[in-house]
Structure 1
Amino acid sequence: MDELSSVEQDMVRLTFLRYNRMKEWYYNQSYNEKYLGIPFAVDGKTETALLKEHYRVLYGGKLSDYYVTSLFSSVNGMRKSQKKLLKLAEQERMQRQENRREKADSLKERLVRMQAGKDWLKAFGRYLAGKGTEPKAPSVQKQGFTYSSGKLFYRGKKNQLVEAEPFVYERELEKRIRQTKAHIAQIEDKIRRTDEKAGRIPSRITFGSEKQYKKKDTLSLTGKELRAWHQERDFARNRIVNFSGRAVSPDGNYLCKYDAEGHTLEVTMINGEKILFHEVHFPYRGEELAQYLKERKGSVGYMMERKKDGNGREYLIFKAALTVKKDNLNYSTSDGVLAYDFNYDHIAWADVSSDGNLIKAGVIPFTLDGLSSGHAKEILGTAVKKLVALATDRKKPIVREDLDFVRKKAQMEYREDTAVLKVNPAYTSLIAKVKYMKLKNLSIHCAAAYVIGRRGMGFLEKLPSYLNCLVPKTQKNRWRTVFTHAKKAGPSYFRKNLPVWDKWKQFDANVHNYNENYSLWKESYSMQ
């Protein structure tokens, strides 16, 4: 900004101010029309005419059609982003509600066992007092504890085996029952309140970020004056101007004209005046932009952003956006695919052949603990490049789960010319656990990547032999039935040689015994 004259600096700041004021006004009118039922276009006037009229009333000038188009594009982009975020929030809300209901059901099952244990202790007390018969021996499955040789054994914190006197444990059990009931009531109240909020209309977008706006409540703690907060808020609200591209323009944009050889950018301000910016470079794909403009392939969108350095000096950043058609991408699975499963500390991948067999599997490790967002993004970008290189070297498309998570979408950006196929993520980890983990000698995550790859190639997964007779072949979704029982078993359980069962009760009992023995082994191993 220092290279510009004072008049040009004022025109730039004027453009930032007016453009963002008009953008806020247009967004609020669109919001009122969509969610509050207040019509925007009245008396037969178009939205373009209303925008120009509002601008003339505020500033007494004429608003260019190209700025109107940029405002439309910017606000529509904000609305689409908000719609996607609302959809994502609704999916996350439903998932959280489902988790809460499962937690409540689990606590209710635990409460039933504790009530049964309390009833047994009362019956045992009456027996000792000579007022009744001796009750049957308690079990962990029904009462949550066992009784032997005058001692009672139950699982305490961290699943440790605890020995206690029966009537001492009865007081502890009554306390647990009260806490569990309170916990269930708390979860059910949270479910009810969350469902009540679901039908509300979404909040408006806070221009300048909600974080910046909330700083007003902490002025007394930070020692800042209200005027300084207003200046920071206004700067945050009026810091970006978007210039929509037009394919029919010789330069791809009617408001910006970039000279790749002289590295100059001519920008038409909102009042119609033009300013020439010198030494404008685009470090990322600048050569591609120059070739794109030279061949006049299509539209080019620009973004002008205003920032401040540590000394309060203002400067401008320009960004360009162009549409690159990725032709001749290899979406064919005839030669196989490369699939991956994304995890918190690594990417597990599997190379699948054309007939659905495993060629090779591996992991791409990374560490994000304690890193800043910028550093974490760089680490993830490096991991993704390694994954893309694996697919490029093998000349195969990439297959991933179709998960609508913003975080994972941001992590998996394929800038190279690599085709990406998406598959339904249902039961991929379950199939990997019960079918391929032991068969292919893979980790649970590499096995999941293998399942994802096979699904991307159209292969169907049948039940393994030891589970096949438990689910009727006429049942539509057989894996769903398996999931309800196998979800309680860890991956290590399915590395054993498992027998063939006739009933789910035998399978569940086997899983329960294995979990009990495994926890006891872990406890004894930790004591060594």
Structure 2
Amino acid sequence: MIVIQAKLIFLNQEDKQIVLDLMRRWSSCMKFAYKRLLEGYDRKTLKRDLQGMFDLNSRYVDDAIMKARSTLESARELGKSPKKVIFGGRDLFGKLQKRHINGKAYEKLKIRWQEKRKGNLYSRGDKSKKGNLNTRIEVRKNGTFLRINVGERKYVYARIEAGYKKNKRREELLQEIAESNIPYSVELKLKNGNIYAYFAIEEEYPEIKITKEKGVIGIDINAHPGNISWTEVDEKGNLISYGNMPMPELASGSKDKREYFRWQYAHEIIEIAKKKNKAIVIEELEIKDKGKRGDFSGRKSRRIRHSFSYKSLLSKIKTLAKREGIEVIEVNPSYTSIIGMLKYAPQYMITKDISAAYVIARRGLGLQEEIPDNYMKFLNALTVEELEELKEHVKKTVRNKHLKKKHLREINKAIKFLQSLESEPERVLKPLYGTSFSTYDFWRVLKVAVVTPLSPEKVPRDFSTLKELLIQGKWGDP
């Protein structure tokens, strides 16, 4: 999506007041629709009732309902209570409630919050109406104008000033949009007494030319220490090359600075894919791990939401890839780190981050990860008593309370898993037969049995110790 920001200059103060009144009514309509959606009202009922209540045409009301629904869905996806959403901004509202600012500063803060709360208007584009019916760009001899529908057959015109310093390229682009009749959405916002317009058009992406036929590039983004790991594989899933891209700039700095570097790193990944002529495999953008309480409070979902805009970086890689005609495959990231560190890190002598990217790449090709034979034999010989001994060892050696709790929880799960398979004569050689467990449960037990004893205080970076067990089947060395 391409977004162009511009300032609106009105011919007279009366026209501006008419538009401000329209924005106030639309904002109220959107907030009212949000409350009714929470109560279970459907779109048709709302659309019929809200037109007369707020004196808006059906298109404005429909757009208000759509915005209210998207706000509701966003709150649910982020694990927030939809009933606690504050229009105008929670941070600003919190500052106003505390009253730690007085006088003119407080009044300025209050005006800013009111502008964010009441100064909004959104109008969707429509291809059948040659762009946008309620807010249309019109090109005249004396400039480019926005025609705003303020009532039944009543319009207000505002001159579009593209940027603080008049930007000719922006204005030319807006003129091209108006003349091409392509659909564009317009959003008006009130800031410091001025009305700004945001014009958005959907991009038309070229045909995909670089596919997974010749292999893929697997991407694994790590919150700590903050880097992108990538691997190149051929069409059969064989490892060809790999690399690591540190991202220190994303750990601190202003929002704009971090946004700039996210685009830079995304461009670097695209250049690698173009050079290698291979598709890109990334983790799914949707956060499906809601945690035990169902409110996205799990460690993984917190990492995704808070650590250097994980989702934003992947989204940028996806967008740039589409612009270059590169296929992007999204895969479920479950257990990619565990499988990578146990199976491929010791085999290829690579880090766990690189190995996780390798698993992601193979998963993008549709390849399944089987547990190696020697690991299966090791699991078949593993006993509950040995895991009980490991539990006691962790209790005595691990000082970090959080880490100790995590280890003990994982060991208890592994014990429970082994106990459930005691009745099976060939419990590991035919692991899924007659059980409710998946292959992932065996990888979890394997991690507990071989990684935790190696380094109970932290996950090791070097997994070469496992090479003898993986390749030669040797185990039992303290």
Query: Which residue number corresponds to residue 235 of structure 2?
Result: 354
Query: Which residue number corresponds to residue 189 of structure 2?
Result: 305
Q: Helix, strand or coil for the counterpart of 2:195? A: strand
Alignment partner of 2:33 out of 5, 18, 26: 26
Query: Which residue number corresponds to residue 410 of structure 1?
Result: 312
Query: Which residue number corresponds to residue 369 of structure 1?
Result: 251
Go from structure 1 to structure 2 and tell me whether the alpha carbon gap of 1:499 and 1:280 turns closer, same or farther (over 3 Å shift).
Answer: closer
Render the CA deviation track for 1:196-251: whole Å, top value 9, x for unaligned. Answer: xxxxx7424211011111122321x3224776554333122123311111111123
Are positions 1:319 and 2:198 aligned together?
yes
1:361-510 to 2 correspondence within 5 Å?
A: 361-367=242-248, 368-402=250-284, 404=287, 405-406=304-305, 407-412=309-314, 413=316, 414-416=318-320, 417=322, 418-471=326-379, 472-476=428-432, 477-487=438-448, 488=452, 489=454, 490-492=459-461, 494-496=463-465, 498-500=467-469, 510=477
8 Å contact from structure 1 (residues 422, 456) kept in 2: yes
Rounded Cα–Cα distance in structure 2 between residues aligned with 1:218 and 1:357: 60
Name the amino acid aligned to 1:21. S
Q: Helix, strand or coil for the counterpart of 1:299? A: coil
Go from structure 1 to structure 2 and tell me whether the alpha carbon gap of 1:224 and 1:329 turns closer, same or farther (over 3 Å shift).
Answer: farther
Go from structure 1 to structure 2 and tell me whether the alpha carbon gap of 1:342 and 1:263 turns closer, same or farther (over 3 Å shift).
Answer: farther
Aligned length, in residue pairs = 373
Name the amino acid aligned to 2:283. E
Query: Which residue number corresponds to residue 22 of structure 2?
Result: 15
Are positions 1:63 and 2:19 aligned together?
no
Rounded Cα–Cα distance in structure 1 between residues aligned with 2:78 and 2:328: 23
Rounded Cα–Cα distance in structure 1 between residues aligned with 2:185 and 2:37: 23
Go from structure 1 to structure 2 and tell me whether the alpha carbon gap of 1:349 and 1:475 turns closer, same or farther (over 3 Å shift).
Answer: same
Query: Which residue number corresponds to residue 68 of structure 2?
Result: 75
Following superposition, the deviation at residue 479 of structure 1 comes to 4.3
Name the amino acid aligned to 2:310. K
Rounded Cα–Cα distance in structure 2 between residues aligned with 1:340 and 1:280: 38
Rounded Cα–Cα distance in structure 1 between residues aligned with 2:267 and 2:251: 20
Query: Which residue number corresponds to residue 121 of structure 1?
Result: none
8 Å contact from structure 2 (residues 148, 156) kept in 1: yes
Go from structure 1 to structure 2 and tell me whether the alpha carbon gap of 1:240 and 1:216 turns closer, same or farther (over 3 Å shift).
Answer: same
8 Å contact from structure 1 (residues 64, 270) kept in 2: no
Following superposition, the deviation at residue 315 of structure 1 comes to 3.1
Name the amino acid aligned to 1:248. S
Render the CA deviation track for 1:503-524: whole Å, top value 9, x for unaligned. Answer: x9x96x75xx4xxxxxxxxxxx
Q: Helix, strand or coil for the counterpart of 1:305? A: strand
Following superposition, the deviation at residue 430 of structure 1 comes to 1.5
Name the amino acid aligned to 2:258. A
Rounded Cα–Cα distance in structure 1 between residues aligned with 2:120 and 2:275: 40
Rounded Cα–Cα distance in structure 2 between residues aligned with 1:65 and 1:479: 52
Query: Which residue number corresponds to residue 336 of structure 1?
Result: 215
Query: Which residue number corresponds to residue 52 of structure 1?
Result: 51
Rounded Cα–Cα distance in structure 2 between residues aligned with 1:261 and 1:397: 47
8 Å contact from structure 2 (residues 231, 354) kept in 1: yes
Q: Which runs of 5+ in 2 are unaligned?
A: 1-7, 288-303, 380-427, 433-437
Rounded Cα–Cα distance in structure 1 between residues aligned with 2:207 and 2:268: 22
Go from structure 1 to structure 2 and tell me whether the alpha carbon gap of 1:475 and 1:484 turns closer, same or farther (over 3 Å shift).
Answer: same
Go from structure 1 to structure 2 and tell me whether the alpha carbon gap of 1:399 and 1:232 turns closer, same or farther (over 3 Å shift).
Answer: same
Task: With the length of structure 1 as denominator, give the TM-score of the two structures.
Answer: 0.63
Name the amino acid aligned to 1:409. K
Following superposition, the deviation at residue 492 of structure 1 comes to 4.6
Following superposition, the deviation at residue 278 of structure 1 comes to 3.5
Rounded Cα–Cα distance in structure 2 between residues aligned with 1:25 and 1:408: 33
State which drifts further: 477-486 or 330-339: 477-486
1:155-174 to 2 correspondence within 5 Å?
A: none
Query: Which residue number corresponds to residue 94 of structure 1?
Result: none
Rounded Cα–Cα distance in structure 2 between residues aligned with 1:333 and 1:285: 37
Rounded Cα–Cα distance in structure 2 between residues aligned with 1:280 and 1:249: 24
8 Å contact from structure 1 (residues 258, 264) kept in 2: yes
Go from structure 1 to structure 2 and tell me whether the alpha carbon gap of 1:283 and 1:421 turns closer, same or farther (over 3 Å shift).
Answer: farther
Structure with greater contact order relative to length (CA < 8 Å, sep ≥ 6):
2
Q: Percent identity?
A: 19
Go from structure 1 to structure 2 and tell me whether the alpha carbon gap of 1:381 and 1:16 turns closer, same or farther (over 3 Å shift).
Answer: same
8 Å contact from structure 2 (residues 219, 281) kept in 1: yes
Rounded Cα–Cα distance in structure 2 between residues aligned with 1:349 and 1:285: 37
Q: Helix, strand or coil for the counterpart of 2:347? A: coil
Q: Which runs of 5+ in 1 are unaligned?
A: 56-61, 90-200, 309-313, 514-528
Rounded Cα–Cα distance in structure 1 between residues aligned with 2:217 and 2:281: 6
Name the amino acid aligned to 2:463. F
Q: Helix, strand or coil for the counterpart of 1:9? A: helix
Query: Which residue number corresponds to residue 153 of structure 1?
Result: none
State which drifts further: 372-381 or 479-488: 479-488
Go from structure 1 to structure 2 and tell me whether the alpha carbon gap of 1:402 and 1:228 turns closer, same or farther (over 3 Å shift).
Answer: closer
Go from structure 1 to structure 2 and tell me whether the alpha carbon gap of 1:10 and 1:292 turns closer, same or farther (over 3 Å shift).
Answer: closer
Render the CA deviation track for 1:320-369: whole Å, top value 9, x for unaligned. Answer: 22233435224732110111100132111111111211121112222133
8 Å contact from structure 1 (residues 401, 422) kept in 2: yes
Following superposition, the deviation at residue 408 of structure 1 comes to 2.0
8 Å contact from structure 2 (residues 10, 16) kept in 1: no
Q: Helix, strand or coil for the counterpart of 2:256? A: helix
Q: Helix, strand or coil for the counterpart of 1:207? A: coil
Go from structure 1 to structure 2 and tell me whether the alpha carbon gap of 1:493 and 1:473 turns closer, same or farther (over 3 Å shift).
Answer: farther
Following superposition, the deviation at residue 497 of structure 1 comes to 5.8
8 Å contact from structure 1 (residues 338, 351) kept in 2: yes
Q: Helix, strand or coil for the counterpart of 1:276? A: strand
Task: With the length of structure 2 as denominator, give the TM-score of the two structures.
Answer: 0.69
Following superposition, the deviation at residue 11 of structure 1 comes to 2.1
Q: Helix, strand or coil for the counterpart of 1:422? A: strand
Rounded Cα–Cα distance in structure 2 between residues aligned with 1:385 and 1:283: 27
Following superposition, the deviation at residue 454 of structure 1 comes to 0.8
Q: Helix, strand or coil for the counterpart of 1:267? A: strand
Query: Which residue number corresponds to residue 186 of structure 1?
Result: none
8 Å contact from structure 1 (residues 340, 348) kept in 2: yes
Rounded Cα–Cα distance in structure 2 between residues aligned with 1:18 and 1:420: 42
Go from structure 1 to structure 2 and tell me whether the alpha carbon gap of 1:475 and 1:248 turns closer, same or farther (over 3 Å shift).
Answer: same
Following superposition, the deviation at residue 452 of structure 1 comes to 0.7
Following superposition, the deviation at residue 433 of structure 1 comes to 1.1
- Aligned CA RMSD, in angstroms, stands at 3.2
Query: Which residue number corresponds to residue 129 of structure 2?
Result: 249
Following superposition, the deviation at residue 495 of structure 1 comes to 0.6
Rounded Cα–Cα distance in structure 2 between residues aligned with 1:283 and 1:484: 63
